[in-house]
Amino acid sequence: KQEVTQIPAALSVPEGENLVLNCSFTDSAIYNLQWFRQDPGKGLTSLLLIQSSQREQTSGRLNASLDKSSGRSTLYIAASQPGDSATYLCAVTGANSKLTFGKGITLSVRP
């Protein structure tokens, strides 16, 4: 059974800091890994998708890497801003396109 872990559960950083969010998963037989952003009480916004054959993806200040063999992914956020405050969830796609999510990391960026 696939399990996705995100540690820590919460993180508070000053504005401008570069930061790394970690995600680990137990079963390396995945089709892809996605990072999502969720604002309080809202739905999910896809940030980056990394196919199982890829090592990383970049979008603006965000960079996500994937090491499938070790079951790890990182989301790098450069020059963090207060508007980046949200919960960040990682999810892996397995059989039947089922997404298995971690519990998320709640990020607070202090002005």
Partner 1 sequence: ETGVTQSPTHLIKTRGQQVTLRCSSQSGHNTVSWYQQALGQGPQFIFQYYREEENGRGNFPPRFSGLQFPNYSSELNVNALELDDSALYLCASSPKGIRGDTQYFGPGTRLTVL
Phi/psi at 4 (5° precision) = -120, 130
Taking CB under 8 A as the criterion, the residue among 62, 63, 74, 101 binding partner 1 is: 101
Shortest Cβ 49–partner 1 spacing (Å): 5
Instruction: State the residue for tokens 């196919």.
Output: 51
Shortest Cβ 96–partner 1 spacing (Å): 3
Nearer to partner 1, 3 or 17 (CB): 3
Does residue 70 interact with partner 1 by CB under 8 A?
no
Q: Judged by CB under 8 A, how many residues of this single chain contact partner 1?
A: 26
Neighbours of 24 (CB within 10 A): 17
Q: Report DSSP state, residue 102.
A: -
Does residue 34 interact with partner 1 by CB under 8 A?
yes
Q: How many CA atoms lie within 13 A of 64 on its CB side?
A: 26
